[in-house]
């Protein structure tokens, strides 16, 4: 990292009454990458150093680094720090803009799109599921139970379950749309499952959804999935509202 890395006045975050501080930090680091001031393999300044550069506390810095990590722009190396990863710049730029342009409304829009896709997919899954589809979902639920018992992260298993439901719809377009939305929603999904108390609740909904799909109860499966998604959306909205105040 060049010694004058933080020297330019534009590095300072001046408008503390405008956009959320963490979104401004994400934008600034993105600019550093676009300008070539940060390249693949370069270390980022520490949380403390970034807080000093931007004249903010470490809290918004930490949130910004989480977003960059979730978007695949940086990676944490234990004991060494945070480093820039090799990324598809167009993919990164487009997704970051979409995520932080207006976090509250963007997340709501994304969840509405997710509801449209997943509710229809759930209906079709109940009508079209095969024995193999059911076996995949059951295996994912067992993996989730094991992760909860061991105190491990359940994000990946949760994502896999929802993807398995969509795969069981046997509709290639829904699958492609889900792949796109899953990428954009990964930050909010991880936030919604950050609290361990949510793990059992999420698992219970997955079990109920699977039971309805197994019974070929399309409307019942859709009703449970709708309730599950609404709770997740409410959790995320509450988190965002807290961050904005």
Instruction: Give the mean pLDDT per block of 10 residues along the chain (245 residues).
Output: 46 56 83 82 91 88 82 82 74 55 66 90 98 97 92 84 96 88 67 71 95 98 96 79 60
Pick the CATH number of 9-94 from 3.40.50.720, 1.20.1250.20, 1.10.10.10, 1.10.3720.10: 1.10.10.10
pTM of this structure: 0.62
Same fold, 9-94 and 102-243: no
Q: How far is CA 37 from CA 54, 69, 72, 203, in A?
A: 16, 18, 18, 44
Q: Which fold has domain 102-243?
A: 1.20.120
DSSP E strands, 20-158? 74-77, 81-84
Give residue limits of the domains in the chain. Answer: 9-94, 102-243
Q: How far is CA 232 from CA 96, 136, 163, 228, in A?
A: 21, 23, 16, 6
Is residue 77 classed as helix, strand or coil in its secondary structure? strand
Inter-axis angle of helices 197-214 and 155-167, to 10 degrees?
20
Is residue 71 classed as helix, strand or coil in its secondary structure? coil
Q: How far apart are CA 70 and CA 194, in angstroms?
A: 13
Distance from chain centroid for Cα 222: 23
pLDDT at 9: 45
pLDDT at 105: 62
pLDDT at 60: 85
């Amino acid at each position: 990292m060049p010694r004058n890395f933080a020297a330019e006045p534009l590095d300072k975050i001046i408008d503390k009454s405008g956009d959320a501080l963490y979104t401004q930090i994400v934008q600034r680091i993105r600019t550093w990458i676009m300008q070539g001031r940060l390249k693949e393999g370069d270390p980022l300044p520490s949380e403390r150093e970034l807080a000093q550069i931007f004249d903010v506390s470490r809290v918004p810095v930490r949130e910004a680094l989480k977003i960059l990590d979730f978007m695949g722009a940086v990676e944490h190396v234990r004991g060494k720090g945070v480093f820039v990863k090799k990324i598809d710049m167009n993919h990164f730029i487009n997704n970051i803009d979409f995520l932080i342009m207006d976090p509250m409304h963007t997340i709501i829009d994304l969840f509405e799109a997710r509801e449209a896709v997943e509710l229809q997919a759930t209906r079709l899954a109940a009508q079209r599921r095969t024995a193999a589809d059911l076996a995949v979902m059951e295996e994912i639920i067992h993996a989730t139970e094991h992760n909860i018992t061991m105190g491990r992260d359940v994000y990946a298993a949760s994502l896999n379950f929802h993807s398995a439901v969509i795969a069981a719809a046997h509709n290639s377009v829904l699958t492609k749309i889900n792949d796109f939305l899953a990428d954009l929603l990964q930050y909010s999904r991880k936030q919604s499952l950050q609290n361990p108390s949510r793990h059992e609740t999420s698992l219970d909904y997955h079990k109920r959804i699977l039971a309805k799909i197994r019974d070929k109860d399309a409307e019942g499966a859709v009703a449970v999935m709708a309730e599950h998604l609404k709770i997740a959306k409410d959790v995320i909205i509450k988190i965002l509202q807290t961050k904005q105040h």
